[in-house]
Amino acid sequence: MKIKNIRKIGKTEVYDISVREVEHYVLENGVVTHNTGSYYSADNIWIIGRRQTKEGDDVIGYEFIINIEKSRFVKEKSHFPLTVTFDGGIDKWSGMLDIALELGYIAKPSNGWYQVVDQETGELLEPKRRAKDFVNNDEIWKSVMTDKFKKSLSEKYKL
């Protein structure tokens, strides 16, 4: 079949047609189509992986990584860690340390140490802390979670 001409028809509604148990089928006028499957028709595809969280040899929980493969709301290829411990449940500040570092709201002045950055002056605020000090620490995170931080977060991930 050869294309005779191409003309603009404006916007029109299209449909993703799938037929069970066949990969392709013939439409009217001999046009052959192929099932696109669930990937193309899905609004969101999130792949969730997990890894163990340990203290010594003891497993104390899991860190789930949510990878955004496809989304109409979040930038694709984003990933979000979610820490869940057997004793404490979900850490509501999961992954925020890495994000705050990337956005410049927390600095890593030396290996293994972190400090909150004053967004007005750019100075590092005392005290220096270890990564474990940020886990489930409402006091630290409420000081970081300013409207400016929320806006930066939205600009990084939201479509």
- How many other CB atoms sit within 10 Å of the CB of residue 101? 14
pLDDT tens, position by position, 39-61: 766 788 999 999 999 999 999 99
pTM over 0.75, yes/no: no
**pLDDT above 70 for 114:** yes
* Confidence at 1, pLDDT banded by 50, 70, 90: low
- What is the per-residue pLDDT for 152? 92
Residue 111: predicted pLDDT = 94
Task: Please say if the pLDDT value at position 36 is more than 80.
Answer: no
Token pair in block for residue 113: 């140490």
pLDDT at 62 over 80: yes
| 113 or 28, higher pLDDT | 113
Break the chain into its structural domains and give their ranges: 93-159
Q: What are the Cα distances from residue 30, in Å, to 10, 35, 89?
A: 24, 16, 58
Which amino acid appears at position 27 of this protein? Answer: L
Residue 126 has pLDDT above 80, yes or no: yes
The encoded tokens of residue 72 equal 């109409």
- Give me the pLDDT at residue 35, please: 60
**Average pLDDT rounded to a whole number, residues 20-28:** 66
